[in-house]
Amino acid sequence: MTTKRARCKKGTRKNKKTGNCESVLDHTCSICLDRIVSGNVKTKCKHNFHKKCLIGWCKSQSLLTVPPCPICRRNIKDTCKKIMPFDSHEVFRFIPMYGEITDIRKEQIETIIKHKDFDVNVKQYLDYSIVLYTPSDMSHTVTFTVLESLLATRNSADLVEYLLKQPGIEIKDEVVSKLISSRSDNMLKLFKKYKKIPKSLKNLI
């Protein structure tokens, strides 16, 4: 007489090697819903994800002080910090094109620019042809350094000062010239303090 094997409960699956019933979530990435074969990351709350999927999730939650687990919403900040590859260009995600930098964004910017591998001369390329509704064959690509991007915002003096203190930072004469023409006295004081005013422009201050 053959004995019937008990079926696994709903939401679980039998492991062929051990014969034990295991949660389906242990082997399925709840972000992309595909089976996890390799390249997985387990959070402190014991949930498994594809590493690439979780990196994407962490990026999407980066404005939050406490990024939540996609399944149980527990804090996975440490996991995100551990798996996120460092990229200096990420700083531009938190710098608005104009206006004031919020405290949350400022905290993110500060974390990035103070990273040991941060490139103080990192640039972003903006295509203004879409904004200006001009033909696509006309080039309107503009380059901004992280310093120039911060100078275009408010509430960024301490971030600008940190960058000016870095020995490898490169500053174009036109950047200082714009500060002079716009009468940005507070910023000019910082540039003067760290000796970043070109000789040719000193007489204009």
- State the Cα torsion 60-65-66-69 to the nearest 10°: 0
Give the C-alpha separation, 63 to 108, whole Å: 8
Give the C-alpha separation, 133 to 116, whole Å: 40
Task: Report angle CA 69, 62, 72 to the nearest 5 degrees.
Answer: 10
Q: Residue 10 corresponds to which amino acid?
A: K
* Structure confidence at residue 110 (pLDDT): 96
* Structure confidence at residue 5 (pLDDT): 58
Domains with residue ranges and CATH for the chain: 12-83 (3.30.40.10), 88-170 (no CATH)
Helical residues (DSSP H) of the chain, grouped into ranges: 51-60, 77-83, 103-113, 146-151, 157-164, 173-181, 185-193
What number of residues does the chain have? 205
Residue carrying structure tokens 């971030």 = 159
Helical residues (DSSP H) of 123-167, grouped into ranges: 146-151, 157-164
Question: What are the structure tokens assigned to 171, written together?
Answer: 């500053």
Query: Per residue, what are the HEC states of 45-64?
Result: CCCEEEHHHHHHHHHHCCCC
Residue carrying structure tokens 């053959």 = 2
pLDDT in tens, the chain (205 residues): 445 556 776 556 666 666 776 665 668 898 999 988 888 999 999 999 999 999 999 989 877 878 999 999 999 999 998 998 899 999 999 999 889 999 999 999 999 999 999 999 999 987 655 444 545 555 567 889 999 999 999 999 999 999 999 999 999 999 999 999 999 999 999 999 999 998 888 777 6
Contact yes or no for 173/143 (Cβ under 8 A): no
Assign 14 to helix, strand or coil.
strand
Contact yes or no for 11/23 (Cβ under 8 A): yes
